[in-house]
Chains A and B, each alone.
Chain A
């Protein structure tokens, strides 16, 4: 699965990290950090995290 974050849209609100903390986290400067290769079984959580983003800055491609 390929996760892309639009940095111009992301404001570090952290809603994705609440839904899928295994994959998304905010660093000390509230910048989003995405785990490089999330396990396939996290696909459902990643999709939910993308939906939780207020500006839909996250897109996910199934590989």
Chain B
């Protein structure tokens, strides 16, 4: 019998990466159990990841092809749970907002937000950097981009946590329903009083044939951009800080040469990216891959963090080394669903690391290294909290 792995349970331990490495050494693809108790094929190897992420026999539209596997039945998530040509048609509506030029224009505002939050840390000397920095920073950025009022933001963290690190499938579905109904209200308000932001632009956007997005589609768009737009970056920033602090010689190298920050961000993405697992795909027909037969209708997901620790990506994959040449990592996926927000995520991470290291000459974990707690999530790799000691 093939072993069925509970990823969320494994993720709650610091040993996740070692255990995945052990599994990947014997199989490039394993069985895992997801929150609704459905089993899915889970791809670990880098070569198999690249091959199958480009395979048109796998569909993202689980609602049509495998409704039993959908985590939130009846609610197809905009872009993530769509196939081309519909996916590309919708993505074109937002791609300019996340293109290189648009993201470069956001730089001064992201620097300003970053500095304000670092000012807020003051001289206290210790703080949970997730609570006080890595959570609010990307949230502020995406909310300004989308046009989400500041006074609405209180429930977002719980929704994001319940969606990515849910204690139960019921909690996840409840959070998705609350988020969706909030977004319906938000779209309604923007329809009445348009503002200068991406959501207002989407409301008036027209496809080539003159048609527009429905309110349900707009709300789904808002929901996915809002959650994917901050939760992933929150955890990426925290993981990057954690891993730099756990490798003092790498931190020292970055302090000596701040121009290495881009390389540090890429290594953080490769070593412990936050979007650990992709959304499910479903096989449209039987597929032979990695020595197994994926049957028509079966679910497949990709454990990108395992692929990024394949020796094919880096000869010594478990060392964190910002100076080492690395083949293309897959932290943002690959192919048609390649992360929409990757330029923004990279820019936020670059600014955050630069500003934090400039501001604090002392930065260290405020708890013993083996006491940091990891999120029990099969989707997101991240920390529960990141208590740091800091001084100017």
Contact surface of A with B, Cβ cutoff 8 Å: 9, 11-13, 15, 18-19, 30, 48, 51-56
Interface residues on B, range: 10 to 19
- CB-CB contacts of B90-109 with A at 8 A, as 1s and 0s? 01100100011000000000
B63-107 vs A, CB cutoff 8 Å, 1 = contact: the mask equals 000000000000000000000110010011001000110000000
Q: Which of B91, B95, B100, B335 has the most CB of A within 10 A?
A: B335
CB–CB B100/A15 < 8 A: no
* Distance, CA A19 to CA B340, complexed state (A): 18
Having A51-B336, A53-B88, A54-B336, one finds 7 other A-B pairs with CB under 8 Å, namely A19-B335, A48-B54, A51-B56, A51-B84, A52-B334, A52-B336, A55-B95
Tell me whether B334 and A18 are in contact (CB under 8 A).
yes
Instruction: Take A11-B100, A19-B54 as given contacts and tell me if A54 and B88 are in contact as well, using a CB distance cutoff of 8 Å.
Output: yes
Q: Does B338 contact A (CB under 8 A)?
A: yes
Assembly CA distance A42 to B257 (angstroms): 43
Q: Is the CB of A54 within 8 A of B328?
A: no
In the complex, chain A residues whose CB is within 8 Å of the CB of B336: 15, 51-54
Residues of A with C-beta under 8 A to B328:
18
Q: B54 touching A11 by the CB < 8 A rule?
A: no
Q: What residue of chain A has the Cβ atom nearest to residue B87's Cβ?
A: A54
A-B contact number at CB 8 A:
44
Contact A55 B56 (CB under 8 A): no
B81 CB to nearest A CB, Å: 15
Partner of A55, one of B54, B92, B100, B335: B92
Knowing A30-B100, A51-B54, A51-B56 touch, does A15 contact B338 (C-beta < 8 A)?
A: yes
Cα of A15 to Cα of B50 in the assembled complex, Å: 11
Task: Name the distance in Å between A17's Cβ and chain B's nearest Cβ.
Answer: 10
A53 to B95, CA, bound (A): 12
Does B242 make an interface contact (CB < 8 A)? no
B338 to A56, Cβ gap below 8 A? Answer: no
Q: In the bound complex, do residue B99 and residue A56 qualify as a contact, i.e. CB atoms below 8 Å apart?
A: no
